[in-house]
Amino acid sequence: MAQVYGAETAISWAVFSDFIEAADLTSTEGGIARHLYEEHVAALRAGEETATRLRHWLYSHTSSISQSIVAREFVSQVHAELSATEGRWRESSRKLVSDFFADLRAALPEQPEAIDRFERADRRQRLMVPGRLSRDGPYTGAAFDVIAFARQHLDQELNDPEIRETLDRYELEVDGLLRRFEERNTTPSRRRELMTEAQARVQAGEDATRLIREIADYMGEPGYLMVLLFRANEAASLRIASLLEDEELRERFRLEPRKRLLAWMYESVATDAYLERALRSNTLTESQRASLEGLRAEAERLKASREPQLELLHKKAMTDDAYEEYYIRAVRQGLGLEEGGQRLNDTSIELYAGRDELVAKMNDILARARQIMGEESPANSNPGSQQPGGGR
């Protein structure tokens, strides 16, 4: 079912089960917690379903007449209802989550710490996923829950006091940032209000500098929070790597932040996918297989050689001081005070040029692989073709 962007999903059963296990509840307490949890899930699902159905019903009024001038007023009224309903559901769903935790605290007064941890785990689980926290651009490394990763890959090591302390500190730091991110997301209409105010000032010929800066801060803050999240993730993961004895695990924790940061490079690109598929073919001759394996090794070497430079550029693009200037320029353009022009800061331009160069070389490998397979390429070598959507 389609989700209203920014609205909450129900607290996951896995996170809830972890809480039940960690809190060591009596059977009565467990029963109360489960009852509250089931009520919460039912309420959230009913709300989600209703929000989706309302959206379909409201849209159905405008789909066949949206261009009609006679219907203009009616169509804008329905659009306003749609937008208000989505805003209400965003707020309402968040309240259902906070009400659940408030009810749980009231029902289990002996468990404040376990419930705090549960709430933090829930926030990470809901927010630290690609698509929720960071949809694209240079922020992909923010959606990396180091605690979940550690639980997945570590066992006895989790009892190491230094690792535990690292994770505890990380948990609190990240939660502070995620809370701020949530608060910022609950008031999406604030930017519109500020923009309307700024427009009125500009139209009246008054100075709007202070408002422009405020709007730019407002627009830039989620990005800035994601930079801080990435830094917290990277620091915790590297710290854990330094505390591990097993070489393979150490490498895993050392490399993971970079892998998340350069997700586009690690996700399936055409060359990798093609080579993998071609190598699975049953009809390959030995010489074809050897050539394709050679190309696969070449692609791996190529990516490995570019990685450090791209990683540095990514980090610089994220934290570039120009970002504030970028948003101020965007707001000024929105207010008609400045012509539209360059949309990216210089580091981002360098980053995307670096990506394009790598992609062009990967495309060349793809073309050679197709030749080996006796196929013609549907598209000639074309920089950018393997590049996933990106940019601010």
Partner 1 sequence: MTRFAPPLLGLLIALIAAPFALGQSELPWRLRDEPRITRAELEEFLEEQELEASDAAIILRSAHEDLLAEYADLARERAAERAHVQQLQNEWYAANPPQPGIPRMQPRFSDPVFDQALRDRRARIERDFDETVLALLPESQFPAWQRIVNARKRTHTLEELRMTVPDPSVGNPYLDLFQIVEDANLASEDSAIAAPLLDQYGAAMAAAIDDLLAREDALNTVIVQNQFADLAEAQSPEGKAKNQRRQAAVIELIALRNAIVAVNDRFRPQIESALSPAGLRKFQRAIKQQMFPSIYLADPVELAVDGLREWSGLPTNLRSEMEVIWEDYEAQREAILDRLIDAHQRWEAPGNADVRREYDQKISEIMRARQEGRPIDDIEPEETPPFTFEPLQQRHELAMTTLRRLSGLFSADQRATLPAHVRLCLDLVNPS
List the one residue out of 305, 286, 270 whose CA is nearest residue 383.
270
Applying CB under 8 A, among 46, 255, 337, 353 the residue interacting with partner 1 is 46
Q: Judged by CB under 8 A, which stretch of 26-34, 65-73, 291-299, 318-326 contacts partner 1?
A: 65-73
Q: Judged by CB under 8 A, which stretch of 192-200, 236-244, 301-309, 382-390 contacts partner 1?
A: 382-390
Q: Does 353 bind partner 1 (CB under 8 A)?
A: no
Q: Which is nearer to partner 1, 161 or 378 (CB)?
A: 378
Residues 304, 251: Cα–Cα separation, whole Å: 15
C-alpha triplet 209, 215, 221: angle, nearest 5°: 130
Q: Judged by CB under 8 A, which stretch of 180-188, 263-271, 303-311, 330-338 contacts partner 1?
A: 263-271
Q: Which is nearer to partner 1, 13 or 74 (CB)?
A: 74
Q: Does 69 bind partner 1 (CB under 8 A)?
A: yes
Q: Does 380 bind partner 1 (CB under 8 A)?
A: yes
CB 3, min distance to partner 1, A: 10
Applying CB under 8 A, among 11, 15, 16, 47 the residue interacting with partner 1 is 47
Q: Judged by CB under 8 A, which stretch of 6-14, 57-65, 302-310, 337-345 contacts partner 1?
A: 57-65
Q: What residue has token string 């050897």?
A: 290
Applying CB under 8 A, among 20, 22, 32, 71 the residue interacting with partner 1 is 71
Q: Exposed/middle/buried for 179, CB within 10 Å: 0-12, 13-18, 19+?
A: middle
Q: Does 43 bind partner 1 (CB under 8 A)?
A: yes
Please give the residues from 105 up to 124 whose contact with partner 1 meets the rule CB under 8 A.
none
List the one residue out of 323, 111, 332 whose CA is nearest residue 211.
332
CB 67, min distance to partner 1, A: 5
Residues 154, 347: Cα–Cα separation, whole Å: 36
Name residues whose C-beta falls within 8 Å of residue 167's C-beta, 6 or more positions apart in sequence: 146, 147, 150, 158, 236, 240
Q: Does 61 bind partner 1 (CB under 8 A)?
A: yes
Residues 288, 283: Cα–Cα separation, whole Å: 10
Q: Is 7 helix (H, G, I), strand (E, B) or coil?
A: coil
Q: What are phi and psi of 373, to 5 degrees?
A: -85, 0
Applying CB under 8 A, among 5, 21, 38, 57 the residue interacting with partner 1 is 57
Residues 243, 160: Cα–Cα separation, whole Å: 9
How many binding residues for partner 1 (CB under 8 A)? 47
Q: Does 269 bind partner 1 (CB under 8 A)?
A: yes
Q: What residue has token string 């895993």?
A: 252
Please give the residues from 74 up to 103 whose contact with partner 1 meets the rule CB under 8 A.
74, 78, 81, 84-85, 88-89, 92-93, 95-96
Q: Does 164 bind partner 1 (CB under 8 A)?
A: no
Say how many residues make up the chain.
392
Residue type, 303: K
CB 270, min distance to partner 1, A: 4
In contact, 293 and 342? CB cutoff 8 Å = no
Applying CB under 8 A, among 140, 345, 347, 386 the residue interacting with partner 1 is 386
Residue type, 339: E
Applying CB under 8 A, among 21, 24, 38, 49 the residue interacting with partner 1 is 49
Q: Which is nearer to partner 1, 69 or 204 (CB)?
A: 69
Name residues whose C-beta falls within 8 Å of residue 100's C-beta, 6 or more positions apart in sequence: 11, 36, 37, 40
Q: Does 210 bind partner 1 (CB under 8 A)?
A: no
Instruction: Pull the structure tokens for residue 142.
Output: 């923010």
In contact, 211 and 122? CB cutoff 8 Å = no
Binding site for partner 1 (CB under 8 A): 1-2, 43, 46-47, 49-51, 53-54, 56-57, 60-61, 64-65, 67-71, 74, 78, 81, 84-85, 88-89, 92-93, 95-96, 268-270, 273-274, 276-277, 363, 378-380, 382, 384-386
